[in-house]
Chains A and B, each alone.
Chain A
Amino acid sequence: MKIKLPKFTPWMAWIGGLVVVTAAGVAAGLMVFWKGLSLTNLTDMVPWGLWITIDLSSIAMSAGAFSLCAVVYLLGLKRYEAVARTATFIGLIGYTMAVLTLLLDIGRPDRFWHAMIYWNKHSLLWEVTMCVTFYLAVLALEAMPIFAGFGWLRSHWPKLSERMSRVHHYAPYLAIAGLALSMLHQSSLGALYGVLKARPLWYRPDISVLFIISAIAGGMALTVFASMLSARLTRHANVENSVLDRVSIIIGWVLVVYLYFRFWDALSMTYTYEPGRTEGLHLLTGGPLSFNFWIGEIFLGAVVPIILLLNKRTRALPLWRMLALALVVGGVVAYRWDTNLSGLFIILSYLPGEPAVTYTAYSPSLIEFLTGAGIIGYGLLAFSLEAIPVVGD
C-alpha cells in the first residue's frame, strides 16, 4: 500500500515544498480571519476576485467525479471504475478546497452555517451552498470504500474498515445523487452570474450551460492527467491505458461542443450595442483580459487540446496527452477568472440618461495569493499523499 519512498529525492522535495506553501497559506488565512478582508485588494466594485476563481475552478475540476461515476454506474461501463475512483478522490479534495476558500471569502466565516437554516430558495447561492454540502457528503461516502482499503486502517480498525467498504453496495444510488446534485450546482455556478440583470455581460442563459460543459471537460482532464501522473510516479498503477485513451477522446469532443456553444454565445453578443455588455466583451477581445481570453481560454485552453486529443498520434504519446490535459485545466481556470472579472470591471451607471459605463480594476493582494497558493498546496499535498496510492492500488 505505502509508496516506497526513496531516501532523498525530488519526491521529498516536492512534499516538503508543498508543506511549506500550505503552511504559509494557513498563516495567511489566519491573518485574514484575524484582520478581516481589508487585507485583500477586493473593493465594493470588485467584491469577488482570486478566491472566487479558485473556488469555482476547484469545483469545476471536481466534475470528473460525477461524470465518470455516471459512466460507470448508469451506463454500466465497469472498465471505467478505476478512473472513476480517482475522480471521486479528486472531487473530495476539490470540494474541500472550495469550502475552505469560501470560508476565507465570506465576511463572517462564523456564520457559514446560516444558509443551512435560513433558506432563501430563490437564491442561486443558497442552492449552490446546499448542493455543495450534500455533494461533499456524497463524495465522502463514495470515497469510503477507498479509505477502507488503506493498509493502516485495515490493520488497526478491521471492523470499521469492513463497514466502510460495505458502502460500496450503495454506489449506484450515490452516483445518481451525485449526478443530480452536480448537474444542479455545476450549472448554477454559472447561473449565479447569469441571472444578474444589473450586469448585462453576464445576463444571459448560456453561461450556465457553458459552465457545466467546461467543468465536465476540465474535471475529466484533471482526472486523466492525475491518473497518468501517478502511474508514472508509482510504476504500479493498473489503470488501463485504453480507458484513459477513451476518456481523452471524450474530453476532446466535449471541448468541441463547448467551443461551439461558446462561439454562438459570443457571436450573438456582438451584434448590437448594448451598454455594459459590449464594453465587457471588448475587455475580453481587446482589453486587459484579452490575452487570457484568446490565448488562455480559446487557443491553448480549447483549440490546441482538441487537436492533440482528437489526433490519434499525439494522443498516443503520453507527454503530449498530458500536455493537452493540463492545457484544458488551465483553460477552464482562465474561463472562470475572465467571466468573473469581465463582469465586475464594468460599472454601469444608474444615473438618468443613456447608461454610461465606467471601468475599474483589480489585482489580488499578497495575502490573497498566499492563501490561494496555500489552498492549492493543500490540494496537491492531499493528492500526493493519498490519491497516488489510490490510483496505484
Chain B
Amino acid sequence: MSDIKINRRDFIKLTVAGVTVLAGSQIIRRAQALETLASNGRQWAMVIDQSKCTGCDYCTLACRAHNDIPPEISWNVVTKTGTVGAQDVYTPRPCMQCAHAPCVDVCPVRASSYRPDGIVKMDYDRCIGCRYCEIACPYGARSFNWKQFDGPNPSVPEWGQPDISRRPRGVVEKCSFCYQRIDRGLALGLTPGIDEDATPACVVVCPVGARLFGDLNDPESNVSKLLRGRTSYRLRDDLGTSPRVYYLSATEESQS
C-alpha cells in the first residue's frame, strides 16, 4: 500500500530545518520587542512608601470607581504584612507591570502585551478567557470575569467616575496603571505623576502620599529621585520578573 517512502534521514533534516526556523523567528521577535522598549522615552514606575501607608484602602476604592471594576474583583489589594514598632505595616499590590511578564509570555493570543512605555496591557477584545495568565502570574494580579457585571458600581460616584468601559463576561482583567489617564493627560500636555489628571487614580487618592508615580527614564522625576535616595525592594524579585512597582520599607526611623 505505501508506495511512497520517506527515509528517516530526510525526516530528521526536515525536522531540524523546521526547528531552526522557529527558533530564529523567536529570537528576532524578542530583539524587536527590546528595541521598542529601548527606543521609547518613558518608562513608568510606581513607588509605594510603606512607612506612610495606613492601610485605609482608598486606593482600592478609587481604582474600583475609575476602572469600573465589579465588586468581587480587585485590581489592587492591600494586605497587612506585620508591624514596625507600634505601627502596622501594609503592602498594597497593584499589577507589577513586570518587564519580563509571565502573563505576556503565556498568553496564546497576545491579548496581554507590553506597551512601549512598559505597561502590560490587556486587549479585552482579543482575550479568549483561557485563564493561563492567571495561573502564570506570581502576584495573583489577574481576575477572571466569571459573571457579567451589570449592576450599579458601589464605588461610583463616591470614589470617582469610570474612565473606561466594563469588561465583558469571560475575559481576564487586571490593573493597567490607568494608562487611559496617562495617555489622555500626555495628549493634554500634562505630566503623569505630577498632574492629577494624568496620574493613576490610586496615586491621586492616597491621603498620605504613600504612592508615587513617574518616569524611570527621567532622572529628575520624583520616582527616580526617591529611588536614588532610599533603599527600595520589589516583590518576588528572585523570580526575575523585574516589576515596575518599587517599595520603600517601613523602618523604625521612618516612623518617627
Residues of A at the B interface (CB closer than 8 Å) are 36-38, 42, 44, 47-48, 73-74, 105-108, 111-112, 114-115, 118-126, 129, 168-173, 176, 180, 192, 195-199, 344, 347-348, 350-353, 355
Query: Is B146's CB under 8 angstroms from A114's CB?
Result: no
Query: Is A173's CB under 8 angstroms from B105's CB?
Result: no
- The interface residues of chain B lying within 8 Å CB-to-CB of A180 are 15, 18
Query: Is B4's CB under 8 angstroms from A173's CB?
Result: yes
Query: Is B127's CB under 8 angstroms from A108's CB?
Result: yes
Q: Given A121-B22, A121-B29: A126 and B129 within 8 A (CB)?
A: no
Q: Given A107-B169, A108-B129, A111-B128: A119 and B146 within 8 A (CB)?
A: no
Q: Given A106-B128, A107-B129, A108-B127: A36 and B134 within 8 A (CB)?
A: no
B interface size (C-beta, 8 A): 60
The answer for the CA separation of A37 and B132 in the assembled complex, in Å, is 15
Query: Is A119's CB under 8 angstroms from B110's CB?
Result: yes
- The interface residues of chain B lying within 8 Å CB-to-CB of A347 are 140
When the two chains form the complex, which single residue of A169, A173, A350 contacts B138, counting CB atoms closer than 8 Å?
Answer: A350
When the two chains form the complex, which single residue of B1, B15, B135, B139 contacts A171, counting CB atoms closer than 8 Å?
Answer: B1
Residue of A nearest to B243 (CB): A350
Instruction: State the 6 A-B residue pairs at the shortest beta-carbon distance, nearest first.
Output: A107-B129, A107-B170, A198-B138, A47-B131, A126-B108, A125-B108
- The interface residues of chain B lying within 8 Å CB-to-CB of A173 are 4, 6
Residue of A nearest to B238 (CB): A355
When the two chains form the complex, which single residue of A114, A197, A355 contacts B109, counting CB atoms closer than 8 Å?
Answer: A114
Residue of A nearest to B130 (CB): A106
- The interface residues of chain A lying within 8 Å CB-to-CB of B127 are 107-108, 111
The answer for the CA separation of A283 and B127 in the assembled complex, in Å, is 32
- The interface residues of chain A lying within 8 Å CB-to-CB of B91 are 351-352
CB distance from A272 to the nearest CB of B (A): 16
Residue of A nearest to B80 (CB): A351
The answer for the CA separation of A263 and B129 in the assembled complex, in Å, is 35
- Judge if B225 is at the interface, Cβ distance under 8 Å: no
The answer for the CA separation of A1 and B11 in the assembled complex, in Å, is 37
Query: Is B138's CB under 8 angstroms from A108's CB?
Result: no
30 inter-chain pairs at a CB distance below 8 angstroms, sorted by A residue, are A36-B170, A37-B129, A37-B144, A37-B170, A44-B142, A48-B135, A74-B8, A106-B170, A107-B130, A107-B145, A107-B169, A108-B127, A108-B171, A111-B126, A112-B128, A114-B108, A114-B126, A118-B126, A121-B22, A123-B107, A168-B1, A176-B11, A180-B18, A196-B136, A197-B239, A198-B138, A348-B138, A351-B79, A351-B91, A351-B235
Residue of B nearest to A145 (CB): B1
Residue of A112, A118, A353, A355 most packed against chain B (CB within 10 A): A118
- The interface residues of chain A lying within 8 Å CB-to-CB of B6 are 172-173, 176
- Judge if B93 is at the interface, Cβ distance under 8 Å: yes
The answer for the CA separation of A114 and B102 in the assembled complex, in Å, is 20
Query: Is A172's CB under 8 angstroms from B93's CB?
Result: no
The answer for the CA separation of A350 and B109 in the assembled complex, in Å, is 27
Query: Is A107's CB under 8 angstroms from B102's CB?
Result: no
Query: Is A44's CB under 8 angstroms from B170's CB?
Result: no
- Judge if B184 is at the interface, Cβ distance under 8 Å: no
Query: Is B81's CB under 8 angstroms from A47's CB?
Result: no
Query: Is B239's CB under 8 angstroms from A198's CB?
Result: yes
Query: Is A108's CB under 8 angstroms from B11's CB?
Result: no
- The interface residues of chain A lying within 8 Å CB-to-CB of B20 are none
The answer for the CA separation of A180 and B18 in the assembled complex, in Å, is 10
Q: A36-B170, A123-B105, A347-B140 are in contact. List 8 more A-B contacts (CB 8 A).
A: A36-B148, A44-B140, A107-B130, A172-B6, A173-B6, A192-B132, A198-B136, A199-B135
Q: For chains A and B in complex, what number of residue pairs have CB atoms within 8 angstroms?
A: 150
- The interface residues of chain A lying within 8 Å CB-to-CB of B168 are 108
Query: Is B108's CB under 8 angstroms from A197's CB?
Result: no
CB distance from A195 to the nearest CB of B (A): 8
CB distance from A76 to the nearest CB of B (A): 8
Query: Is B2's CB under 8 angstroms from A172's CB?
Result: yes
Residue of A120, A124, A176 most packed against chain B (CB within 10 A): A120
Query: Is A115's CB under 8 angstroms from B128's CB?
Result: yes
CB distance from B33 to the nearest CB of A (A): 10
- Judge if B26 is at the interface, Cβ distance under 8 Å: yes
- Judge if B150 is at the interface, Cβ distance under 8 Å: no
Residue of B nearest to A105 (CB): B130
Query: Is B81's CB under 8 angstroms from A198's CB?
Result: no
Query: Is A47's CB under 8 angstroms from B109's CB?
Result: no
Q: Given A107-B129, A123-B107, A169-B4: A352 and B145 within 8 A (CB)?
A: no
- The interface residues of chain B lying within 8 Å CB-to-CB of A114 are 108-109, 111, 126, 128
| B1-24 contact mask (Cβ, 8 Å, vs A): 1 or 0 | 111111010010001001000100
| B221-252 contact mask (Cβ, 8 Å, vs A): 1 or 0 | 00000000000010110011000000101000
Query: Is A44's CB under 8 angstroms from B143's CB?
Result: yes
Residue of A nearest to B93 (CB): A350
- Judge if B166 is at the interface, Cβ distance under 8 Å: no
CB distance from B101 to the nearest CB of A (A): 11
Q: Which of B148-198 contact A (CB under 8 A)?
A: 148, 168-172
CB distance from B166 to the nearest CB of A (A): 15
Query: Is B108's CB under 8 angstroms from A115's CB?
Result: yes
Query: Is B107's CB under 8 angstroms from A352's CB?
Result: no
